[in-house]
Every structure is written in C-alpha cells, then in structure tokens.
Chains A and B, each alone.
Chain A
C-alpha cells in the first residue's frame, strides 16, 4: 500500500517537475493539518528549488501554529488554515495581507479562492469541506427506504434497522467530548436556526429554544449509537462504519473518498457505501451542517523575500495541472480551476447548494466551541437537564471571554 502510494507520488513529482519549474529565493516552512489533500499541497510546494522548503503537517497543528508564527522572524512562513483557524491567527495579527502578491504572482487563481476580510486578501482557499450524510445503500434498499433528508427520518430508519435486528447501534457520530461534540452541536444548532451570539456582540445566545431542541435531538440520536460514543472522535466513528457496525452517519466530506480504501474495510461496506447531502432538522430549510474551506496564509513576521518565496511555493502546491490527476482530484472538493467534481464530492456540493451556513468566523467563536465541548457531556450522560447544560456553557464561555477581553 505504502509502496504503491510512494511510487504514485514520485511519478506525479517527476511529471510535474517536467511540466513546470518553480524557483524560489528564500526559505519556506509550512505548518498544517495532515489529511490527504493537504499532503498533496505540501508536496507540491516542496517541489520548488532554489531554497529549502520544509513542512510540518500534523493533526496537532492547532496547538503549535500560533507559537510558531509569533516570533520575529516567524518559524513558519505559511500556515494551512480553515475558517476557524484563520480567525485564531488573525486574532493575534499573525498573517500578512496578500493583495500585492496576488497581483504579482496570483494569475490563475479564481476570484472565489480569495478569502477577503475587510477588503484585504488574507488567505487563498483551495478546497471546501462540509459534514454530510454517509450511509449504507444496501441496508436502506433492503428496508425499502430512501436515504434520510432530515434527522427525524434518520431516527425512524435507525429504529427500523434495530427492530429488524440488522444492527444494534446503526447511527454513528463523532461525539467525543471536546472539539468533536461541540462541532456536532454547532451543526444541529444552526439547523434549528440558532445564533451563537446576540446580534452585534460577544454575548452568548445558546441557552435558547434552538439550543434545547438541539440537545434533545443529539440525545435521541445517541440512543442509537455505540454506548462509548462520548469517546468516539471522527477516526473512531469511521472505524465503526468501515467495520460494518454503523449504517448512517454525519461525516466530513474530506473523508468521503478514503472511506472504503483503508485497510480492513469489509466487502459489504465497500459495495454498500454511499453519500448524500447534509440533513435538515426540526422542519428547517438550512442544513444542520457547516460549510468550511481550507486554504493557506503567509506569515506576517517574515521578510518580504520569504513572503514572496512562500507565495510562489504555495501557488505551485495548488497549480491547476494537479487537477488532471485522478487520485488528486478525488481527494477533496477543490476550488482550483480545472477541477472536475468526482463522486466523492457530491455531499459537499449539495451542502453548498442547499445553503449550508459557513462556520462562524468571529474572534470569540473558538472560546464558545471550547465551552460547548467541555460542558455538554453531562447532559448526554443524563446527569443534568438541557437548560442546565446550556446555562453552564454560557457561564463557562463568559468566564473565558472576560479573561480574553471580549466581554466586560
């Protein structure tokens, strides 16, 4: 498996280096997440010659990128970010406006790729992501039902699967206490039409009817999950799905292509795997999901030469020719010119068409996400009421926001 990938990667590299030369004049150092699409971008940037290109692609990037870009000169010249992490870097003023570099070297970028904040380009997006439905079409066909369009339908189908004795716990969900659990709350809360903050302020607004409905729906879903659900992150949830223990789950679009290619996926799952757009909830029309983009930035605390080299190298990592390669094209929903959507992209495109809201980019959203992750587990264990859990979230958020100077 590894050899195959390595061989493929080197073929791409050979083919690419023949196609285009990328010359840089100063060091480039990239920090970012580690999923396949980002590996591709990193490898593309590393093809540049003339100066050293190093990269640190790790799932723990969020813990180190602020520290790695705070120094002057910054350790990392580029951070690969998403909605939420760009806000974190901008809170500490660590990324450089890119307008001059886009004008000079940014030919071939699509206007939609430019993440513009207050009139300035702060990041260049290369892919979109959203959580959406993945399901087992064989099981649903046996039951004679359509894939669920709403969470209410998902509950009904889950009950049918359990009643027929096909699976004991047919629903999967990344409900691990912490970031994952909070993200599932965010999806459902937006689906119920909730808003996280009071209009135009940092005052929390989750202890509302939408919040209570959200928690009750999550609790109802958890009744159909593996009893260990509070310890299952998205990797563990995917493992359950791949092992054939789960028939319905809300999962990241970026995982769609690799869902059936990992080791140990049963034949049934390979044949039965299907994806669809995100579901709605509570009769609402906005999907219970959030829309994400992934893109790269250039650090602020570096010299102009390094910024230029970084921009050129990163542009090489997202050049349109890469889209010709079928393996690369299936890795993500690329925003790059020339990308032809694959089957794995259906879910994310449906999410975008259905009007899925983007993950909020306000500076205090990270604190809200953290408070949700810490305080909701008690409710899902049946230890306290939904109202109490949401009151706890608001209190925890308020304490953190006062410390950080967002609330007085």
Chain B
C-alpha cells in the first residue's frame, strides 16, 4: 500500500484512537501528578436538631476559591501520590525491610499495604485463570466439535451461557449459592461437619471461589475462538495422521494444537489483559475483606464519600504499566515476527 493511501485509510481509526485512548490516558497521567490544594480550614458554630450548637471545623470557601481560581489544576505533587502508602509505599517498604528479621515478616509487612495486597491477588488470579480457561476452552471446543451436527447448535448455546450472563449477576448468583444458608454453602457445612464452616469467611476459599468463577466466566470465550479455529483444520492432515496410526491424543497434540497455536496466543493476550483488570467478581462476591484487585482500588477511591481522584488516577496509570509489562513478551515476539518478514 502506498503511504498516501495508507494515511487516508488509517486516518479515521487514528483519530478515534487519539480521542478515545490517547487523550484519556494523558488526562489520567496529568490528574495523577496534581492533587487538590491544601484546605483552608476555619472553626465555626454548627447547629443541628436534637443536639444544639457545637463548634466544628469546616472549609473556608472564600479563601479556597481564590487558591482554586489561581491554579485550577490543583497543586503539583510530582510522584508523591505514586510513592504514598496507598500506592508504591516506598517508605513503608523500607521500614518493613529494616524491621523484619526474615522473609516471612517482610512478606506480611508487604501484604499489609493495599497495592501489594491487591497485586498479589490480581497476579495469582491472572496466572491461574488464564491457562485454565485456555485448557477448558480447548476441551469444550474439541468435545463439541466431535458431536453429531444436530446436537452441536444446542451445545454451543449452552456452552456460551456463562459468557452471556452479566458478570455482576453471575457472581451474585454464585455468591448466594455459597452463602452459609445457600445450596452449596449448606452442602459444604454438611461435608465439613462444622456448623461454623463458612466459605466466605476464609481467605483461601474465597480466592478459590473467585478463580473458579473466573474460569467459568471466561472459558466460553476461549471455546468460541478455538471452535472457529477447528473449522479451518484441513481434513487431509487429520486423515494422514490417522493413516500413520496416530492415536486421538497424538492427533490433538501434533496436528490440532499446532494448527490452533496463533489462536492460543490471541486468547492468552486478551485474557491476560482482562484478568489483570479483574473487578466484577470482587464486588459481586463482596470479597473486599479477602481479595482486592487494582481495579477494585480505583473503584473504592472513586466511590468513597470523599472522592480521591488523584489516588484513583495514579492506580490507573500503574494498571496501564502493569498491562504493558504483562503483554510485553507477546508484543516483542509479534514485533520480531513482523521484522523477520
């Protein structure tokens, strides 16, 4: 393609990307290095029902307005927000390092900090769910593909259901089922033989539940992609393998999987990104006491009574950096392939 043609061809996409991807990122970066002005406080008399009048502190609006008008963006704080306890927590990390005698102490100090605690769950979730959903997706795809063609349509529909259900609704349904008075919850209590057994009260089991949910929800996506890929599998290759006496397992291992490999990369890429942004199950399962994720921290900063825009922006930027690091091996490989050609 000529450069000129390419330019006009790409222009609408490029503009949309600039508007909807580049500008918001720039805006988030700017918001993360500015914080609200220092509050000008004054003491005033408050009168409320049933209590009478008391002396309270409030914000001096006139003084604050002057400062705001002079510098509408707020005060420049550089990387302060990134380094504070809510984010990278450099000071607290150094303290934990100095005061701990062994790795155990250091780890518990580390996971007491919100960002690292969230990272621990986010990464565990990402690296367990992604391979599992690829394996399950492939298994379902192979199973459905070998069905009688009359049954296929029905099975595809049912296999896709978990993905069709809204994530928040799906997690809420499972949340009530595992409640200590729910179907699964009561069954587990009976199995464990302990009336106080509760899945929701245990951090380990909560993580397992979230991971099971994650696989259940995302496996259909892998299934659809692999199933489409299987339709392009050349019949002659399989027949050749059969004539050579390959077992079904050998056919899958040496013929089917290599054929689907580009799709595996694609699914892994998309799902690494998606799982790193895990959010709905943490909210749906009310699991914040046991498992938090980077996206949940952003939500929490924005959803409090006092919104912390700078803190939320800093976590957003860190999430973008995290996604970039996660995807870098795949991206580097794609770039090399491109250069090679």
CB distance from A329 to the nearest CB of B (A): 17
Per the 8 Å Cβ criterion, residues 176-199 of B in contact with A are 179-180, 195-198
Known contacts A88-B305, A227-B196: does B300 contact A363 (CB below 8 Å)? no
- The interface stretch among A45-53, A135-143, A391-399 is A391-399
Is the pair B203, A381 in contact by a Cβ cutoff of 8 Å? Answer: yes
Known contacts A230-B289, A361-B46, A381-B289: does B195 contact A404 (CB below 8 Å)? no
Is the pair B49, A112 in contact by a Cβ cutoff of 8 Å? Answer: yes
CB distance from A138 to the nearest CB of B (A): 22
What residues of chain A lie closer than 8 Å to B79, measured between beta carbons? none
The residue from A88, A381, A405 contacting B36, defined by CB atoms under 8 A apart: A405
Asked if B298 CB lies within 8 Å of chain A CBs, one says no
Interface string of B303-326 (1 = CB under 8 A from A): 111111011000000000000000
- The interface stretch among B1-9, B80-88, B131-139, B238-246 is B80-88
What residues of chain B lie closer than 8 Å to A395, measured between beta carbons? 85, 92
Asked if B332 CB lies within 8 Å of chain A CBs, one says no
What residues of chain B lie closer than 8 Å to A402, measured between beta carbons? 80, 84
User: Which residue of the partner chain A has the closest CB to B85?
Assistant: A399
Is the pair A230, B92 in contact by a Cβ cutoff of 8 Å? Answer: no
- The interface stretch among A32-40, A114-122, A317-325 is A114-122
Max count, chain A CB within 10 A of own CB: residue among B65, B86, B198, B310: B86
The residue from B41, B85, B305 contacting A366, defined by CB atoms under 8 A apart: B305
Known contacts A226-B180, A358-B48, A399-B86: does B305 contact A405 (CB below 8 Å)? no
User: Which residue of the partner chain A has the closest CB to B175?
Assistant: A231
Interface string of A253-293 (1 = CB under 8 A from B): 00000000000000000000000000000000000000101
Is the pair B85, A396 in contact by a Cβ cutoff of 8 Å? Answer: yes
Per the 8 Å Cβ criterion, residues 358-400 of A in contact with B are 358, 360-364, 366-367, 369-370, 374, 377-378, 381, 384, 388, 392, 395-396, 398-400
Asked if A84 CB lies within 8 Å of chain B CBs, one says yes
User: Which residue of the partner chain B has the closest CB to A223?
Assistant: B196
User: Which residue of the partner chain A has the closest CB to B199?
Assistant: A228
What residues of chain B lie closer than 8 Å to A367, measured between beta carbons? 304, 306, 308
What residues of chain A lie closer than 8 Å to B310, measured between beta carbons? 403
Among all A-B residue pairs, the 5 with the closest Cβ atoms: A227-B198, A118-B44, A366-B306, A377-B289, A366-B305
Given contacts A227-B198, A369-B304, could you give 18 more A-B pairs where the C-beta distance is less than 8 Å?
A: A114-B47, A115-B49, A119-B45, A176-B286, A227-B200, A231-B200, A231-B285, A291-B50, A293-B50, A335-B49, A362-B57, A363-B59, A364-B306, A367-B308, A374-B114, A403-B86, A405-B36, A406-B39
